[in-house]
């Protein structure tokens, strides 16, 4: 019977038509993918890490050593003349008993410039390499000293930094704060009690990810005290990652990860003597679990400036704290009906009598000058435009330098205006260079490292003189990269604006890449690249490296590639633009994305509305799901990488900022979660996720797969074992991801023009 069944199966197979073979990536595209993701063909020329010294009269940078292959020297340049000298040669970085210099992962100088603090042997902690070994080099004696003492295990120190006097270094080791005297290596432990749920001088996962708070301590200006954050994570639920790949039996990695609506860490702040002793805890008001303490800086030798945000993040109270007594009093309160962003650019002026503050209180993000008591709040940059960020302050000259782009939200330019708010703002970036300008300005505001790029041109970094913007010398010309890229930029990218129909009626910015052999009399399939959430823009006129070149590769297979920024993305278009999505993340954005595709198809006859795909990563992966589930008549194919299908599964700080608390907005969370609209899927969907993603958990994709299975919806799926949110760990991974995306698109959205 078994033999008969086998024979019948062979006969049936012989009579059936041969299966259709999946599309293959053409050889030229395969080679280009290899060049993009498995070679250094498109690497940018390196400048830095650079540090201004002597108030801007000189700077140091890291350059390859002539004496030691693979090692680096730290080189000093006179800013005005370019005179070069080796400040610290690689041979000075050879520890006793070794033959090879230390690698320079990062470095910093003592305030007087006589001592070097070097980070080496660094290890990744979640997103960044913030743990490693620290060494101090004395440039007078050339003595090289490893911090931490003889008992410190390898690569266990974090966030080391000199005191303002340069005589001591403070650092975090295994969750506690230490100070080490440079002269003799004496170590003083400032805090105790660290364990997996209690840390001092550093932050928990969610503060690091969403408030960008990693280094959790601050030296007092006089070097006698240190203010620090303390995190009590008891009560925060544990999310367990499972590593199936790195040992004979799987093992788990626990993370204290607060999902929406669940308890946060209790976060407090205290001040301790640098010589050790008891901590004076600051009397910050309200429940430390249901309020946030995202920023703390010294405001003179005896006071600290704190930002205290409520859990909804729609109120930010600026507090002054007395370091001796712990008493606090309010100075300023910012409020918003949606949410507020943490203010990073708090700079003190007039000997500590006033500080600079960023606020959207008039509907635009502007700089204000606030008196120390908060009674006077004076606008410095009035007008119907957004300040993107403060770049520098020239207090002796009376100038504020800031980044803005009043006429084009896809670009960045440097401006300056009088600190007293009088007079007209001056554009410093050259009008002859439309695109994106980035600056690292010297302490005296007379010089800057200036990096300029556009969507189609790689970055060039120069030293410029301010305010004239005169180019003094090239720092990273990137000539080789520009020459390598030039043949690939067959057509300039088109930046466009498109107005949506009512009820939205918004005008969105976008870009479009056409194939090199584009024929406007024919129709082409369209691939939309999307992010769509408040954490980022996709439509920015700046170089995007391999991502841009991959989109060009796709275009040259016979696609048109485009992207638009819907309302709710952080474009400099005013508060109303950014915050209209409050409480409905994914709802308004997906509608505007679909309306943009329809509008493009109506106005551009060369777009084939029956061949439309969309793809994105992280928030863009979520937006891809929203697009396919809510607007199946618009999109035929979607590629969703590392998405959040259910917003209840993401962290407190990010999701509650834009959606409110799930206890108060349960219906909003249900409506905004793509998983609850999965029945709308009609096209082809590829979902990609790393099983070791500590940020956007693989759990969400597993729940989505279960939902699609229950609905009987076909779905294609790729898991990358034990990879994090970047899906970049391990040899060949990034090449594999983008080869997969390329192949999937070619297979399910026929390429090439049609009559």
pLDDT of residue 11: 31
Phi, psi of 118 (to 5 degrees): -120, 130
Give me the mean pLDDT over the 328-351 stretch: 96
Say how many C-beta atoms besides its own lie within 10 A of residue 514's C-beta.
22
Q: Which two tokens stand for residue 433?
A: 């260079």
Phi, psi of 589 (to 5 degrees): -60, -45
Q: Which two tokens stand for residue 202?
A: 């550093």
Please tell me whether residues 391 and 432 are part of one structural domain. yes
Cβ–Cβ under 8 Å, residues 246 and 234: no
Minimal CA–CA distance to 137: which of 127, 129, 124, 147?
147
Exposure string over 137-161, b if 16+ CB within 10 A, otherwise e: beeeeeebbbbbeeebeeeebbbbb
pLDDT of residue 189: 98
Report CA Rg, the chain. 28
Q: Which two tokens stand for residue 162?
A: 């000199």
Q: How confident is the model at residue 20 (pLDDT cuts 50, 70, 90)?
A: low
Work out the percent of the chain whose per-residue pLDDT is above 90.
95
Domain for residue 30, yes or no?
Answer: yes
Minimal CA–CA distance to 381: which of 525, 572, 232?
572
Q: How confident is the model at residue 21 (pLDDT cuts 50, 70, 90)?
A: low
Cβ–Cβ under 8 Å, residues 694 and 724: yes
Provide the CATH number for the domain around residue 450.
2.120.10.30
pLDDT of residue 152: 92
Q: How confident is the model at residue 2 (pLDDT cuts 50, 70, 90)?
A: very low
Q: Are strands 607-617 and 524-529 parallel, antiparallel or unpaired?
A: parallel
Cβ–Cβ under 8 Å, residues 238 and 256: yes
Give me the mean pLDDT over the 204-217 stretch: 98
565-584 pLDDT, tens digit per residue, is: 999 999 999 999 999 999 99
Please tell me whether residues 510 and 462 are part of one structural domain. no
Please tell me whether residues 622 and 686 are part of one structural domain. yes
pLDDT of residue 217: 98
414-464 pLDDT, tens digit per residue, is: 999 999 999 899 999 999 999 999 999 999 999 999 999 999 999 999 999
Please tell me whether residues 495 and 597 are part of one structural domain. yes
620-676 pLDDT, tens digit per residue, is: 999 999 999 999 999 999 999 999 999 999 999 999 999 999 999 999 999 999 999
Please tell me whether residues 453 and 553 are part of one structural domain. no
Q: With 80 as the cut, is the pLDDT of residue 548 above it? A: yes
Strand order in the sheet with 291-298: 291-298, 303-310, 315-322, 328-335
Give the start-end residues of each E strand in 537-694: 560-565, 607-617, 637-641, 684-690
pLDDT of residue 24: 86
What's the number of CA atoms in the CB half-sphere (13 Å) around residue 476? 21
Q: With 80 as the cut, is the pLDDT of residue 6 above it? A: no
Last residue of a domain, one of 436, 454, 477: 477
Please tell me whether residues 561 and 459 are part of one structural domain. no
Interior angle at CA 152, CA 150 and CA 157, nearest 5: 130
DSSP structure class, residue 680: G
Distance between CA atoms of residues 18 and 40, nearest Å? 41
Burial class (CB in 10 A: 0-12, 13-18, 19+), 395: middle
Interior angle at CA 368, CA 362 and CA 369, nearest 5: 150
Give me the mean pLDDT over the 21-28 stretch: 81
Please tell me whether residues 448 and 589 are part of one structural domain. no
Q: How many domains does the chain have?
A: 2
Provide the CATH number for the domain around residue 657.
3.40.50.1820
Say how many C-beta atoms besides its own lie within 10 A of residue 289's C-beta.
17
Helices 733-748, 546-556: inter-axial angle, 10-degree rounding: 30
Distance between CA atoms of residues 744 and 746, nearest Å? 6
Domain for residue 72, yes or no?
Answer: no
Please tell me whether residues 357 and 496 are part of one structural domain. no
Domain for residue 458, yes or no?
Answer: yes
Last residue of a domain, one of 477, 498, 526: 477
| Residue pointed to by tokens 């990563």 | 617
Helix %, strand %, coil % for the chain, to 5? 20, 35, 45
Distance between CA atoms of residues 695 and 654, nearest Å? 11
Domain for residue 63, yes or no?
Answer: no
Domain for residue 235, yes or no?
Answer: no
**Can you give the residue range of the structural domain that contains 400?**
345-477
Please tell me whether residues 567 and 456 are part of one structural domain. no
Q: With 70 as the cut, is the pLDDT of residue 22 above it? A: no
Lowest-confidence pick of 4-8, 554-558, 716-720: 4-8
Distances (CA, A) of 551 to 25, 227, 537, 543: 15, 47, 16, 13
Distances (CA, A) of 475 to 391, 516, 541, 614: 20, 33, 22, 38
Domain for residue 576, yes or no?
Answer: yes
Please tell me whether residues 469 and 504 are part of one structural domain. no
| Average pLDDT, rounded, for the chain | 95
Please tell me whether residues 362 and 473 are part of one structural domain. yes
Give me the mean pLDDT over the 395-405 stretch: 98
Give me the mean pLDDT over the 591-614 stretch: 97
Please tell me whether residues 580 and 698 are part of one structural domain. yes
Domain for residue 671, yes or no?
Answer: yes
Burial class (CB in 10 A: 0-12, 13-18, 19+), 39: exposed
Domain for residue 315, yes or no?
Answer: no
Q: With 70 as the cut, is the pLDDT of residue 9 above it? A: no
């Amino acid at each position: 019977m078994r033999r008969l069944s086998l024979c019948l199966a062979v006969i049936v197979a012989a009579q059936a038509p041969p299966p259709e073979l999946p599309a293959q990536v053409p050889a030229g595209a395969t080679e280009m993918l290899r060049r993009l993701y498995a070679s250094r063909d498109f690497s940018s020329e390196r400048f830095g890490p650079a540090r201004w010294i002597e108030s801007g009269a000189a700077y140091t940078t890291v350059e390859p050593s002539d004496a030691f292959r693979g090692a680096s020297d730290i080189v000093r340049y006179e800013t005005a003349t370019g005179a070069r000298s080796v400040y610290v040669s690689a041979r000075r970085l050879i520890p006793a008993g070794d033959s090879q210099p230390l690698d320079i992962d990062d470095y910093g100088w003592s305030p007087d410039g006589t001592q070097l603090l070097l980070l080496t042997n660094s290890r990744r902690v979640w997103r960044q390499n913030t743990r490693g070994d620290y060494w101090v080099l004395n440039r007078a004696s050339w003595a090289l000293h490893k911090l931490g003492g003889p008992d410190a295990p390898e690569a266990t120190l974090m966030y080391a930094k000199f005191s303002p006097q340069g005589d001591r270094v403070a650092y975090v080791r295994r969750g506690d704060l230490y100070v080490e005297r440079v002269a003799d290596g004496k170590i003083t432990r400032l805090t105790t009690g660290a364990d997996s749920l209690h840390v001092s001088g550093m932050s928990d996962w969610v503060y690091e990810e969403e408030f960008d708070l990693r280094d959790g301590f601050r030296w007092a200006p006089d070097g006698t005290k240190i203010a620090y954050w303390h995190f009590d994570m008891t009560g925060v639920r544990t999310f367990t990652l499972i590593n199936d790949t790195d040992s004979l039996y799987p093992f788990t990695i626990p993370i204290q990860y607060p999902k929406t609506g669940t308890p946060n860490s209790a976060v407090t702040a205290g001040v301790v003597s640098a010589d050790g002793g008891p901590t004076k805890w600051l009397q910050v008001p309200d429940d430390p679990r249901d309020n946030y303490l995202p920023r703390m800086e010294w405001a003179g030798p005896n006071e600290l400036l704190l930002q205290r945000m409520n859990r909804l993040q729609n109120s930010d109270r600026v507090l002054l704290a007395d370091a001796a007594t712990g008493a606090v009093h309010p100075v300023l309160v910012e409020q918003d009906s949606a949410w507020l962003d943490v203010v990073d650019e708090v700079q003190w002026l007039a000997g500590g009598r006033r500080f600079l503050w960023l606020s959207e209180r008039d509907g635009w993000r502007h700089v204000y000058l606030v008196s120390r008591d908060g009674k006077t709040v004076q606008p410095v940059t009035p007008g119907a435009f957004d300040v993107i960020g403060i770049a520098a302050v020239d207090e002796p000259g009376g100038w504020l330098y800031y980044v803005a782009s009043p006429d084009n939200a896809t670009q960045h330019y440097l401006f300056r205006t009088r600190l007293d708010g009088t007079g007209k703002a001056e554009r410093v970036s050259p009008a002859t260079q439309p695109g994106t300008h980035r600056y690292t300005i010297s302490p005296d505001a007379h010089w800057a490292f200036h990096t300029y790029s556009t969507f189609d041109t790689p970055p060039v970094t120069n030293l410029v003189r301010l305010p004239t913007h005169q180019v003094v010398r090239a720092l990273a010309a990137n000539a080789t990269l520009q020459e390598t890229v030039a043949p690939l930029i067959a057509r300039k990218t088109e930046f466009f604006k498109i107005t949506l129909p009512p009820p939205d009626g918004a005008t969105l910015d976008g870009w479009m890449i056409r194939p090199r052999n584009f024929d406007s009399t024919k129709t082409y399939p369209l691939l939309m690249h999307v992010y769509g959430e408040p954490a980022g823009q996709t439509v920015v006129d700046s170089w995007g490296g391999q991502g841009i070149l991959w989109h060009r590769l796709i275009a040259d297979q016979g696609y048109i590639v485009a992207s638009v920024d819907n309302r709710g993305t952080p474009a400099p278009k005013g508060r109303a633009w950014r915050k209209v999505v409050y409480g409905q993340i994914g709802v308004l954005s997906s509608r505007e994305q679909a309306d943009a595709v329809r509008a493009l198809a109506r106005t551009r006859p060369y777009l084939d509305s029956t061949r439309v795909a969309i793809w994105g990563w992280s928030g863009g992966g979520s937006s891809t799901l929203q697009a396919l589930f809510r607007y199946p008549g618009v999109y035929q194919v979607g590629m969703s990488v590392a998405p959040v299908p259910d917003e209840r599964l993401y962290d407190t700080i990010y999701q509650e900022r834009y959606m409110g608390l799930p206890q108060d907005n349960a219906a909003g969370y249900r409506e905004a979660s793509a998983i609850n609209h999965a029945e709308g899927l009609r096209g082809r969907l590829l979902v990609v996720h790393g099983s070791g993603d500590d940020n956007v958990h693989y759990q969400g994709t597993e729940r989505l797969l279960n939902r699609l299975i229950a609905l009987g919806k076909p779905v294609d799926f790729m898991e990358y074992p034990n990879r994090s949110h970047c899906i970049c760990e391990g040899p060949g991974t990034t090449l594999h991801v983008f080869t997969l995306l390329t192949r999937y698109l070619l297979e399910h959205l026929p390429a090439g023009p049609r009559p």
